[in-house]
Amino acid sequence: MKLSDIEFRAMDSWWRKWGQAHFEIPLFQRMGLDIRDKDVLEIGCGNGHGAYLLNQGSPRSYVGLDVMEEQLEKARQRYPHYQFLVQDATDLSQFRKASRDVVIIFGVLHHIPEWRKVIDEIRGVLRPGGGFFVEEPRGMDLRLFEFFFRWGHPDSDFGVWRMEQYLRSRGFKICNKQWTPLMTMYRAERL
């Protein structure tokens, strides 16, 4: 689903970029993210700041996808040398099965009512042993954001506990989980 205007602007703010660079990526790295010489897919890459940060880690390949043209326009203007695709994450059929070592998500599944389908698709494109790194807000935080900022998230039954259960039921092992003030961060492995 497209972002509301207020969230679109917030995602391009200095504090969002600062948090991703100095907090989220380093925490994922401490949890085991190492993308050197790996094939990486970022889902919901937004304006491309994550692409810029991830590409500092020298992946073999990087593709960022997002459903929102306006986000990718910014990404392409800022980082013309990275690969971005307009694509709904509920359909990853354009990627070969078992072709990615790492799939990474910074706060996207709570925007997608069919989030289970996205997890199914991620399972399909990950190689056995591949890593799925995902951070998502908890239900209480989503409600707080909605109350104070009216970000207009879609109606969805998404929740991190449900996501955990679903990941396990679809053949992922949860290897690491970190609680942070606004998000819960996971490293899962495709078995």
Ligand X SMILES: C[S@@+](CC[C@H](N)C(=O)[O-])C[C@H]1O[C@@H](n2cnc3c(N)ncnc32)[C@H](O)[C@@H]1O
Give the footprint of ligand X on this chain (CB under 6 A): 1-3, 11, 16, 20, 44-46, 50, 66-68, 71, 88-90, 106-108, 111-112
Whole-number Å distance between alpha carbons of 52 and 111: 23
**Nearest alpha-carbon partner for 41 in 85, 73, 2, 107:** 85
Q: For ligand X, which is the closer residue by CB, 112 or 125?
A: 112
Closest approach, Cβ 20 to ligand X, in A, equals 6
Closest approach, Cβ 125 to ligand X, in A, equals 14
User: What are the Cα distances from residue 166, in Å, to 47, 82, 89, 91?
Assistant: 29, 32, 17, 18
Q: At 170, list the tokens.
A: 């679809």
Q: For ligand X, which is the closer residue by CB, 111 or 116?
A: 111
Closest approach, Cβ 177 to ligand X, in A, equals 19
Q: For ligand X, which is the closer residue by CB, 54 or 167?
A: 54
**Nearest alpha-carbon partner for 165 in 129, 92, 115, 131:** 115
Q: For ligand X, which is the closer residue by CB, 72 or 167?
A: 72
Closest approach, Cβ 32 to ligand X, in A, equals 20
Closest approach, Cβ 42 to ligand X, in A, equals 7
The phi, psi pair for 117, rounded to 5°, reads -65, -40
Distance, C-alpha 3 to centroid of its chain:
15
The phi, psi pair for 78, rounded to 5°, reads -80, -35
The three-state secondary structure class of 96 is: coil
Q: For ligand X, which is the closer residue by CB, 71 or 184?
A: 71
